[in-house]
Amino acid sequence: MNATAGAIATYNFAYLDEQTKRMIRRAILKGIAIPGYQVPFASREMPMPYGWGTGGVQVTASILGPDDTLKVIDQGADDTTNAISIRKFFQKTAGVATTTRTGDATVIQTRHRIPETPLKSGQVLVYQVPIPEPLRFLEPRETETRKMHALEEYGLMHVKLYEDIARNGHIATTYAYPVKVEGRYVMDPSPTPKFDNPKMHMSPALQLFGAGREKRIYAIPPFTRVVSLDFEDHPFTVQDFGRPCALCGAEHVYLDEVILDDAGGRMFICSDTDHCEERREAGHAGEMLAGEAAQ
Amino acid sequence: MNAIDKPAGHGQDGTGEAPLLSVRSVSKFYGTRIGCQEVTFDLWPGEVLAIVGESGSGKTTLLNCISTRLPPSAGTVNYRVRTGEMRELYRMSEAERRLLMRTDWGFVHQNPADGLRMTVSAGANVGERLMAVGDRHYGHIRDTAIDWLGRVEIGEDRVDDQPRAFSGGMRQRLQIARNLVTGPRLVFMDEPTGGLDVSVQARLLDLLRGLVADLGLAAIVVTHDLAVARLLSHRMMVMKEGRVVETGLTDRVLDDPQAPYTQLLVSSILQV
């Protein structure tokens, strides 16, 4: 394998062969035509284990062109193992430009987060999905769940939410929170925190979901209604952390807890590393940075 | 079998003379073996029909054929839907059939684990049908669930317990509550008292009799226990080897059995 620039002849562009890409693009088009519907596709073996984003990688490989700029997110961060290895994979096999800036990217492959910076028209967000079936843990039979989707029998999804309230007093599902797409299909938004659910609603960007092991692709076209399920007397709400990011001072963003010492010290920082960096470059500072500056 | 005894006016929702369910020449074959053969009967609103017979006589096969759980090999099943129109069940779309099953019908299984969701709370079990027909108000669903648990003599404090923490009799009562919450007009019961001890059986039968009378339910009860048939049903059908050998009012059939097999069945009851 020759990894020098321009020497990608050992692979077809973006690793997959053209027939495979064509098959996946057909599945994507069908998914876009029926928002929220899980389209079966002939998922391929990829040079990484299941659970590391094989579905997302196949979708990205099929839609990537030489002019695209790719960004890869893992739990909001650009610098974790999964993000770096997938970014390098496409640098090597497709030679495309990569970035960590949300605004500069045309294709963003993500695991577990939607960027804080609002997406714009022309961008594509590719989600890695472990279990695409929102009804799976309630109804183990695939034949039955397909029938339930076909006949729009979604009462069972509310049984889960009912159980949450009965046990915890509120809807305790915080990630993979089920949504209804364009008033028809109930969809699992992949394990993104429910904090990100409102960002899917009427997004100008195209959102594609790939599940490699489960061999399913689904999609939300731009400007599609995405409504989180709830009860009339227990409406859907997103997490509120009650504090700003300790590094950049951003409010109303999704925060990660970082343990600082073994004496209870902790700070909460943006889960979206790119958003945090951009804000710090623009001169914003949270309490942690302000403290350092004072010293 | 052609003699369809008309009950003494149990109809109470104004449909009067019209049957709720009309079964014509229903047969089911498992390869060359017979499940049930040429069964014909009508069921009127508010009427309870018992199907009795020994194991393997085709009772459960017949029940499954009527309740759209098992397509029959021949024959038709017609049901009067709420609009008053008579519909052939196996000509309805699957969506319509499934809607019927979870709103207008109930099905009480012999083993409560088959009819309940064992991993969700009692309240959610009762509320599932409400949510399936579009109720999206948690407080209302919960109040209805507690009300129904009370009607089947399960305390309000058990509403958040899972059915696996319940005794056999409680599970069976929970299953009944779950089926009745949407106000069905027809309930199928497959050996509802099977596997329960006699004192629990007696209470369950008492409860069922009260509910059926209060709600004006029509019911088809499959049982091998003639005492259950005696207590619950207005009319009964005796089956043997897949065929109906005798039908009639329950008291008549049990006190004055005509068919040799029915005579054998009635004389087989242990007198204590």
- Give me the residue from B95, B133, B138 closest to A162, CB to CB: B138
Q: At what angle do helices A81-93 and A54-63 cross, to 10 degrees?
A: 30
- A171 to chain B: nearest residue by CA? B138
Look at residue B66 and give its three-state secondary structure: helix
Contact between chains at A166 and B160 (C-beta distance less than 8 A): yes
**Residues shown for chain B:** 272
In a domain, B256, yes or no: yes
Which among B104, B160, B166 is positioned nearest to B127, based on CA atoms? B160
- Within a domain: A245: no
Q: Are residues A192 and A268 in the same domain?
A: no
Type of residue numbered A249:
G
Q: Which of B94, B121, B137 sits opposite A166 (nearest CB)?
A: B121
Residues 6 or more apart in contact with residue B266 via CB below 8 angstroms: B226, B254, B257
Residue A277 falls within a domain, yes or no?
yes
Q: Read off the amino acid at residue B60.
A: T
Shared-domain flag, residues A174 and A265? no
> How many domains does chain B divide into?
1
Q: How buried is residue A220: exposed, middle or buried, by Cβ count under 10 Å (0-12/13-18/19+)?
A: buried
Window 98-137 of B: residues touching A by CB (8 A cutoff) are 98, 117, 120-121, 123-124, 127-129, 131-134, 136-137
Of A31, A36, A53, A210, which is the active-site residue? A36
Residue B197's pLDDT is: 83
pLDDT mean by block of 10 residues, chain A; 295 residues: 52 91 97 97 93 94 96 93 94 93 96 94 96 91 93 91 93 94 95 95 97 96 96 93 92 93 92 94 86 63
Is the same domain home to A216 and A282? no
The domain boundary residue, chosen from A193, A209, A228: A228
Q: Which of A211, A228, A245 is the last residue of a domain?
A: A228
pTM value? 0.84
Total CB pairs under 8 A between chain A and B: 54
- Shared domain for A96 and A224, answered yes or no, is yes
Answer yes or no: is B124 within a domain: no
Token pair in block for residue A70:
């790719």
Give start and end residues of each alpha helix (H) in chain B: 59-66, 94-103, 112-115, 122-132, 138-151, 168-180, 198-215, 226-232, 250-255, 260-267
**Has residue B115 got a pLDDT over 70?**
yes
* Closest among B129, B71, B73 to B105, alpha carbons compared: B129
How long, in residues, is chain A? 295
Interface check A156 vs B, CB under 8 A: yes
Which residues contact residue B23 at a Cβ distance below 8 angstroms, ignoring those fewer than 6 apart?
Answer: B39, B40, B41, B42, B43, B66, B75, B76, B77, B78
Pairing relation of β-strands B48-52 and B218-223?
A: parallel
Phi and psi dihedrals of B14, rounded to 5? 85, -10
| B147 in Cβ contact with B183 (< 8 Å) | no
> Does residue A1 sit within a domain?
no
CB contact under 8 A, A162 and B141: yes
Contact A162 B117 (CB under 8 A): no
CB A285 within 8 A of CB A272: no
- Which chain A residues are closer than 8 Å to B138 by Cβ? 162, 165, 231-234
pLDDT higher than 70, residue B15 = no
Q: Which of B256, B255, B236, B232 is nearest to B246 (CA)?
A: B236
Interface list for A 220-239 with B (CB within 8 A): 230-234
CB contact under 8 A, A232 and B136: yes
A266 close to A260: Cβ distance less than 8 angstroms: yes
* The pLDDT of residue B118 is above 80: yes
Asked if residue A260 and residue A209 are part of one domain, the reply reads no
A137 lies within 8 A of chain B by CB: no
Task: Find, among B221, B212, B166, the residue nearest to B185 by Cα.
Answer: B212
> Which residues of chain B neighbour A166 with C-beta distances below 8 Å?
121, 123-124, 142, 159-160
Return the higher-pLDDT residue of B14 and B16. B16
A78 within domain boundaries: yes
B44 located within any domain: yes
Tokens of A207: 């959102």
Q: Give the gyration radius of chain A's Cα atoms.
A: 20
Q: Which two tokens stand for residue B127?
A: 């509320």
pLDDT at B175: 93
| β-strand pairing of A97-98 with A107-111 | unpaired
pLDDT, chain B, mean: 89
A65 is catalytic: no
Q: Which domain holds residue B84?
A: 21-118+185-268
pLDDT at A123: 97
pLDDT digits (tens, 9 = 90+) for B199-255: 888 888 888 888 888 888 999 999 988 888 998 899 999 999 999 999 999 999 999
Residue B49 included in any domain: yes
Please judge whether A166 and B124 are an interchain contact, meaning their C-beta atoms are less than 8 angstroms apart. Answer: yes
Chain B within 8 Å of A153 (Cβ-Cβ)? yes
Q: Confirm whether A37 is domain-assigned.
A: yes
Distance CA B2, CA A280 (A): 88
Q: Are B105 and B184 a contacting pair, CB within 8 Å?
A: yes
Query: Of B98, B136, B139, which is closest to A151 when you measure between CB atoms?
Result: B98
Of A97-101, B12-16, B53-57, B93-97, the poorest mean pLDDT is in B12-16
Strand partners, A39: A217
Query: Cβ of B9 under 8 Å from any chain A Cβ?
Result: no
Closest CA of chain A from B132, distance in Å: 4
Asked whether residue A116 falls in the same domain as residue A175, the answer is yes
Does residue B8 sit within a domain?
A: no
Pairing label, strands A179-181, A226-228: antiparallel
Show residues of chain A in contact with B126, CB under 8 Å: none
Residues A230 and A246: their CA atoms lie apart, in Å, by 32
Annotated catalytic residue: which of A55, A210, A212, A276? A276
Tokens 């710090």 — which residue?
A: A280
Q: What is the 3-state secondary structure (H, E, C) of chain A?
A: CCCCCCCCCCCCCCCCCHHHHHHHHHHHHHHHHCCCCCEECCCCCCCCCCCCCHHHHHHHHHHCCCCCEEEEEECCECCCHHHHHHHHHHHHHCCCEECCCCCCCCEEEEECCCCCCCCCCCCEEEEECCCCCCCCCCCCCHHHHHHHHHCCCCHHHHHHHHHHHHHHCCCCCCECCCEEECCCEEECCCCCEHHHHHHHCCCCCEEEEEECCCCEEEEECCCCCEEECCECCECCCCCCCCCCCCCCCCCCCCEEEEECCCCCCEEEEECCHHHHHHHHHCCCCCHHHHHHHHC
Same domain, yes or no: A219 and A259: no
- Confidence at B161, pLDDT banded by 50, 70, 90: very high
**Structural domain count of chain A:** 2
Is B224 within a domain?
yes
Question: Residue A279's domain spans which residues?
Answer: 255-294
Q: Does A139 touch chain B (CB under 8 A)?
A: no
pLDDT at B13 over 70: no
What is the 3-state secondary structure of A138-205? CCCCHHHHHHHHHCCCCHHHHHHHHHHHHHHCCCCCCECCCEEECCCEEECCCCCEHHHHHHHCCCCC
Across residues B75-87, what is the average pLDDT?
92
Cα–Cα distances (Å) from B100 to B57, B88, B113, B216, B262, in that order, read 28, 12, 22, 18, 34
For residue B238, give how far its alpha carbon lies from the nearest alpha carbon of chain A (Å).
35
Active site includes A276?
yes
Q: Burial of B73 by CB count in 10 Å (0-12 exposed, 13-18 middle, 19+ buried)? A: middle
Residue A276 and residue A250: Cα distance in Å, rounded? 8
> How far B140 CA lies from chain A's nearest CA (Å)?
9
The CATH number linked to B46 is 3.40.50.300
Residue A74 belongs to domain with CATH number: 3.40.50.11310
Domain assignment present for residue B136? The answer is no
- Closest by CA to A115, choosing from A276, A285, A292, is A276
**What is the per-residue pLDDT for B12?**
45
Tell me the nearest-neighbour CA distance from B218 into chain A, angstroms: 26
pLDDT tier, B4 (very low <50, low <70, confident <90, very high otherwise): very low
In a shared domain, residues A43 and A144:
yes
pLDDT for residue A28: 97
B166 located within any domain: no
Q: Note if A242 is an active site residue.
A: no
